[in-house]
């Protein structure tokens, strides 16, 4: 059984010196250290909700296997509007590479649950050298496996321009054996990024289950490829996905009042080789304006793949 790691164990402090159960009981340094150590991470910050403002990004280490970050429904991790909150990248050259194929690595398996991510910011820009880079103001996950359960993402940001840069809350790339990223019972509000005011990926499949995305914005300009004289972006007010051979399923979810300056006020779904499917089941999409383009008959969606989206027991308006 893997040992549970707390950000701090107040029982280790003599009662005479034990601080009150406030944000001082769980610190940025403790969170960063616990994530680097891996395992099951819980918080012991008292019975009331607390906000921990990170002064450094918490980074998952490649040599970890299971990493579970559980806020117990009481913890908010804040980037203070200046930094990315949680980072995992199996191809990061600054870390030890554990396999010969860093983009197809089984570990780490990162699960985030019962927690709030607020005011995260990724300042990374898209460049010709790193065309897929940037995004993920709250969570950046490249390689390994990611799952998010019963969590909230509020007012996260990433850089304001770039044709493929995206994911104010979550940016996911290169999941192990192309496994699906599952988002279950999650809420995304107030996100802003060049593309994907909530989530974004390239070549990654998603299952968005029983979740809500509202009030998110794609604020870039010039679409993808970037129009002459622009830096590109502005698509996928809530969801921006691109690449080959992937699928997106939205089930039992509500996507409303998001906005894209260019296309896909709710969802931008482009599969370059036409081998991918967008499925909407038991969901409601409403009032997701697209500034320039969308797919006729699917307000708020821009769709490029073979066939049509699969829509069952859902409304799109």
Q: What is the DSSP string of the chain?
A: -PPEEES--GGGS-GGGPPPSSGGGS-HHHHHHHHHH-EEEE--S-SS-EEEE-SS-EE--TT--EEEEE-TTTEEEE-TTTS--EEEETT-TTS---SS-GGG----EEEEES-EEES-EE-----SSSTT----SSEEEESSEEEEES-EEES-EE-S--SS-B-SSEEEE--GGGPPEEEES-EEES-EESB-SSEEEES--EEEES-EEES-EE--BSBTTTPTTS-BB---SSEEEESSSEEEEEES-EEES-EESSB-SSEEEE-TTS-EEEEEES-EEE---BSSB--TTSTTEEEESSS--EEES-EE-
218 has a pLDDT exceeding 80: yes
pLDDT of residue 55: 97
As a whole-number percent, the residues of the chain with pLDDT over 90 amount to 81
pLDDT digits (tens, 9 = 90+) for 91-101: 887 776 666 78
130 has a pLDDT exceeding 60: no
Confidence (pTM): 0.91
Total domains in the chain come to: 1
pLDDT band at 126 (very low <50, low <70, confident <90, very high): confident
Taking residues 181-191, report their average pLDDT: 98
Determine the structural domain holding residue 90 and report its residue range.
4-316
4 has a pLDDT exceeding 70: no
2 has a pLDDT exceeding 70: no
């Amino acid at each position: 059984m893997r040992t549970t790691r707390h950000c701090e164990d107040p029982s280790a402090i003599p009662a005479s010196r034990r601080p009150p159960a406030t944000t001082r009981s769980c610190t940025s340094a403790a969170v960063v250290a616990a994530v680097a150590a891996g395992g099951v991470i819980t918080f012991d910050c008292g019975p009331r909700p607390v906000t921990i403002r990170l002064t450094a990004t918490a980074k998952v280490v490649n040599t970890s296997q299971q990493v579970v970050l559980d806020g117990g429904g009481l913890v908010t991790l804040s980037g203070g509007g200046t930094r990315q909150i949680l980072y995992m990248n199996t191809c990061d050259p600054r870390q030890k590479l554990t396999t010969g194929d860093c983009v197809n690595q089984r570990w780490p398996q990162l699960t985030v649950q019962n927690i709030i991510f607020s005011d995260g910011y990724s300042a990374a820009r898209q460049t010709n050298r790193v065309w897929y880079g940037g995004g993920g103001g709250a969570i950046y996950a490249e390689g390994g496996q990611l799952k998010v359960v019963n969590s909230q993402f509020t007012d996260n940001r990433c850089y304001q321009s770039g044709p493929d840069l995206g994911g104010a809350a979550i940016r996911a790339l290169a999941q192990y054996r192309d496994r699906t990223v599952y988002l279950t019972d999650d809420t995304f509000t107030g996100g802003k990024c060049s593309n994907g005011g909530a989530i974004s990926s390239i070549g990654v499949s998603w299952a968005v289950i029983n979740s809500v995305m509202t009030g998110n914005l794609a604020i870039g300009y010039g679409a993808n490829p970037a129009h002459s004289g622009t830096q590109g972006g502005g698509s996928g007010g809530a969801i921006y996905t691109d690449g080959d051979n992937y699928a997106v399923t939205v089930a039992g979810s509500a996507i409303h009042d998001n906005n894209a300056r260019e296309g896909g006020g709710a969802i931008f779904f482009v599969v370059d080789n036409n081998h991918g499917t967008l499925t909407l089941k038991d969901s409601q999409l409403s009032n997701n304006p697209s500034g320039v383009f969308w797919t006729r008959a699917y307000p708020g969606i821009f769709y490029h793949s073979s066939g049509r989206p699969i829509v069952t027991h859902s409304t799109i308006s």
